[in-house]
Structure 1
């Protein structure tokens, strides 16, 4: 039997609620949507690049969002001293190199990073600020609210990519 990405019981976006509940709900919806786009696909399908010469694949998007979750919630906002999940020293697109990646392990790492990101933000005020230091030496103040909004935008953009990749793989379309 060939391994297939598990199905997901996708949570729906919230329609009403306080700001924190809406931000969290939309982020959860987009996280689930990325997993939903991977559901039922084989390891080879998850590794299949979208269009040459791009290395973009569904598994690459999972790995990218694993990194982005860690970078924004844990490393930058919470200031946790945790290493990057991929070695970017020789390849700035390391997370998209999936030829030998194990999809089951990558999906587990993604889910674990989501749990760690949620824990880093749990109980913290949306107005809590942190300093983002940029490569050019400049810095700026950002809030946890900004991180939530950025993450929702990041997932929404990449879920559009995932939708096109999934359609190319097996013709499945939809949200």
Structure 2
């Protein structure tokens, strides 16, 4: 319950104002996985809002910081609803490399429009995800991907926190 409260607090701090629509709180639990499964626990909230919301300024991001025994990973991302349903997952790919993957039901190519620029695809509404997880403190690389398309890679640089922008919103091309 503490993790759920923390994520709700992160969402409020990140400027998540559109929670008047349905909000789904989910958790993938690592305690129920087999030894061969490299999926890690992830807590997140999901909401659907119009884009852009009136008076809203937003910028997607992913943040990871080592704090002794583990590293705290948080993210705030909006994906165009045209991409379909979206589910986030955090996995260990090899050794100390991790992947935060947003699996969407429709196609997504490596050429995306980012920022507030008008691209070939318009977003009438977005799926907004805010979440977090713990990863081992010896992490080396975190890759953020939509389906199998990489949109950001973070390499650890000592004990400094790492904050990286994500496209806002993530759009189909």
What TM-score results when the alignment is normalised by the length of structure 1? Answer: 0.24
Which one has the bigger helix percentage? 1
Which one has the bigger strand percentage? 2
Task: Identify which of structures 1 and 2 has the higher relative contact order when contacts are C-alpha pairs closer than 8 Å and 6+ apart.
Answer: 2
